[in-house]
Structure formats: C-alpha cells, structure tokens
Structure 1
Amino acid sequence: MDKSRQRARVVLIMGIVGIMGVLLTIASDFILIGRPSSSKAFFKLGTESMAGLSQWRITIGAFVGIAIIPFQIAGLISIYYGIKPAGKAKALAIVLTNAHTLMMAVAFHTSYAFIASGWNLYYEIGVGDKVAEKMIMRFAYYWKLIIIVMSVELVLSSAYYVILILSGKTLYPKWMAFFNPICILIYIYPLLIIAPKPIGGFIAPAFLNLTTLIFFILSTGTIYKKLIRV
C-alpha cells in the first residue's frame, strides 16, 4: 500500500515535470516559428515559413527548446510503471525508445536555428543564389533524416504500447490503447489543418508537442489514479 502510494507520488511529480517541459517547449515553438497565419499557410511553406525571422527569435526559440526538451523525459515515468506489470524489460523497451526519440527531438529543434538562418541568408543575398540554395537543401536533408528516425521510433513504440495494453497485463485501461501518440496525432491533425489565421500559424508549429502534451496528461493521470487506489 505505502509502496504503491510512493510510486503514485513519483509518477505525479515526474509527470508534472514532463508536462511543464512540454508546455515550455511549445512556448519555444511559438517564439521560434510561430506567426499570425493559417495552419494551411504554415504547412504549405514548410521550412521557408522561417524566412524573415528576427535573430532574437531564432536564438531564444531554438535554445530554450534545446534546454527544456530533456525535461520531457521525466514524463515517461508513468509509461514505465503503467507497462511494468507486463514485464520490466517490455516497459524499459518502450521508455528507452521514447527517451531516444526525445533526444533526437533536441537535434530536430536545433536544426531549426540553422534552417532559419539559411533562409534569412538566402533572401539577404538574393533569391536564386545557388550557393545559399544548396546550403538550405543540405540543412533540409539532415532535418528530414532526423524526422525519419523519430517517426520510425514513434511508430514502433506506439505499436508495441498498443499490443501490451490490449493484452490486459498493464495498469492502463484498454481505452488508452487508442490514445497512443500516433493515434492522438491522427485525431488532432484535422483540427490543426483547419485552424484559421492568426491562431493557426502558432498552433501548427507545435503539433508534435501538442500530441506529447495530451499523451502525458492522460498517461500520468491514469497511472497515478491506478497506483493511488491500490
């Protein structure tokens, strides 16, 4: 009883740290690439939406995110305790995979500073400059490689998470299988894509972190309640 309550407190405290980390990362997204436009305009422009950003936004937005993202790892503690009844190794497999995804997110966030600076240079030199254009293409190539690694890890960990929950051997109720990160992303994306100007241009850049925020809140709340009642 006491041990379960101690774990519940750990889940709650670490969960709050993780959730605060996500909220601050979302704030860094607003600073770095948010602008008063529609979501469609943001997704259509892609990385070019960062062209014209002031240097203070690039610097503060990038490095606040870099400093804060590692704190999101604390939010994974609820997943560990939630999956652990199905096997410690299985819980660690999911947590470590997600932790690595968050580490890759630091590199992903860092790349925004280089890409934004590249687009600014491109327009300062003059549209059509081949050297600046090639540099941006190289930056975008590395950026896409990071996205691929993160996407593969997210899909694999979400699939395993669903399989374990549906087995009935975890602390999660089975409905949580339908609120894994990939499913949450699918649920909120249609809402994000229709978000109008000016709010859409601020929400769209943070869609991955919004997914993490929703998942952390649901996971932390669910596992805390389970442990506190044992």
Structure 2
Amino acid sequence: MNNLKLTGILGLIGAVMVGIGEFLLHYSANGYSGANYPFFVSIADNRLIIGHFLVVFFVPFYIAGYWHFYLAIKQGSYSLALGILNLGVFAFVIGGMWISSRGMLGFIAKSVAAGEASSTILDKYSLLMETLVQVLRIIVLAISVLFVTAILKGKTLYPRWMAWFNPVLVLAVVFLTFFALPSVGNYIAPTAMNITHIVVFTASLIAFKNIQPTI
C-alpha cells in the first residue's frame, strides 16, 4: 500500500474513533440547551471515561490524515499543500486540547448540578476552552479555502469533484441537517467535526480507488 492511501486510511480511522469517543462524551437524548452544560448530567460516568481515552489516543491520527491531503495536493501547488498541512496540524493540536477537556467538564458539570461545586468554574472553562473550538472552526475554514483553491487550479492528484468535499462545506451540511432533520441531526451534531472528516477522508480515498500514485 502506498503512503497516500495509508495516510488516508489512518486519518479515516482517527476520525471514526474520535467520533465515537466524542459521541460518548456528548450525546444526550434530552438536547443541549440550558446553562452550566446540563446535558452532561444524564451521561454515565463510564461513557465520559471511555470517550475521554478514545479521543485522546486517536486525535493524533488526524495528523496522518492531513499528511494525506499534503501528498495529494503538493504536485499541483506545494505552497498550498504545505499550508493545508501546517494549518491541519495546528488545528488538531488545538482541537485535541479542547476535546481532551470534555470528560473532566462532564464531571464538573455533574458536581455543579449536585451543588458540590460553584458554577463559576464553568464560566472559566468556557473562557479558556470553548474559545479553542471557535478558533478550530476558523482554521478549518482557512484550510477549506486552500483546499478548494488547490484543486480548482488543477494538477493535483484530485479530480475536480473533490472540491465539493471540502471540510467547511461538509460541516455546514452537518449543522443544516441538525436543524432541518433533527431525527438524524441529533446523532451527528454532537460529533460534527469528526463526521465532517469521515466524509472528507472517505471521499478522498474513493477518489484514489482506481489509480495507483507512486507516493
């Protein structure tokens, strides 16, 4: 198996496993509204613990996934490919910091709901950690702009249709599904960024299914 496909598969494995972990950490049948993260109260402790370790150990696989994008794009534009790689690594280091805090957040939210801790600590959490996920989304937007630009310029290994599978567009579809079709959206929104990358990595591997790059 060549490096292009291997790194794509590793990225897909990372997105799937982090997605499972984040689903365990976040999914609540009761919705997500309300102050002080009340949805965590209904999430069992073992879900928080298992979800935490899944996301921590599989987030690094995303770096392999972004190396996959770099390999696919570099012959068309080395500078754009390097930009995507660097932004991807930066994004998922930040994303890893955020997602690795969610298990502890769940236990803190439960303590606040039980009157064992002050809600002030959750305000501090929001300032320090929720800011990171907003930064992550901005970086993913920048990655998507570079991704589409490189593909439409031509000479990458990607067919042009792959431009439709840029991360920010897929992420927008995931959130649109949450509002337009809640019966499905309620299951995918809690792990939206991972669902997005499952789609993007899968589309990328399909794009190379019938070709054998030598890299």
Whether these two folds match at TM > 0.5 is yes
Q: Assess if the C-alpha contact under 8 Å between 1:115 and 1:140 holds in 2.
A: no
Q: Assess if the C-alpha contact under 8 Å between 1:171 and 1:226 holds in 2.
A: no
Query: 1:81 Cα deviation (Å)?
Result: 1.9
Matched, 1:150 2:136: yes
Task: Give the unaligned 5+ runs of structure 1.
Answer: 1-5
Deviating more after overlay: 50-59 vs 78-87:
50-59
Which structure has more relative contact order (CA 8 Å, sep 6+)? It is 1
TM-score by length of 2: 0.87
**Residue of structure 1 in register with 2:190 after alignment:** 205
Distance 1:84 1:144, change over 3 A: same
**Residue of structure 2 in register with 1:140 after alignment:** 126
Q: Assess if the C-alpha contact under 8 Å between 1:78 and 1:223 holds in 2.
A: no
**Residue of structure 1 in register with 2:176 after alignment:** 190
Q: Assess if the C-alpha contact under 8 Å between 1:53 and 1:120 holds in 2.
A: no
Q: Which has the higher helix share?
A: 1
Q: Which amino acid aligns with 1:16?
A: I
Matched, 1:169 2:162: no
Q: Which amino acid aligns with 2:100?
A: T
Decide which of 50, 56, 59 is 1:69's aligned counterpart.
59
Q: Assess if the C-alpha contact under 8 Å between 2:4 and 2:72 holds in 1.
A: no
Q: Assess if the C-alpha contact under 8 Å between 1:81 and 1:223 holds in 2.
A: no
Decide which of 17, 20, 24 is 1:31's aligned counterpart.
24
Report the secondary structure of 1:114's partner residue. Answer: helix
Q: State the distance in 2 between where 1:30 and 1:186 align.
A: 19
**Residue of structure 1 in register with 2:203 after alignment:** 218
TM-score by length of 1: 0.82
Report the secondary structure of 1:80's partner residue. Answer: helix
Work out which of the two has the higher radius of gyration on C-alpha atoms and give 1 or 2.
Answer: 1
Q: State the distance in 2 between where 1:123 and 1:188 align.
A: 30
Identity %: 23
**Residue of structure 2 in register with 1:55 after alignment:** 45
Matched, 1:89 2:74: no
Q: State the distance in 2 between where 1:98 and 1:224 align.
A: 24
**Residue of structure 1 in register with 2:94 after alignment:** 104
Q: State the distance in 2 between where 1:186 and 1:15 align.
A: 22
Q: Which amino acid aligns with 1:117?
A: F
Q: State the distance in 1 between where 2:95 and 2:193 align.
A: 10
Query: 1:204 Cα deviation (Å)?
Result: 2.1
Task: Give the unaligned 5+ runs of structure 2.
Answer: none
Alignment coverage as a number of residue pairs: 214
Query: 1:214 Cα deviation (Å)?
Result: 0.2
Distance 1:107 1:163, change over 3 A: same
Distance 1:168 1:23, change over 3 A: same
**Residue of structure 1 in register with 2:104 after alignment:** 114
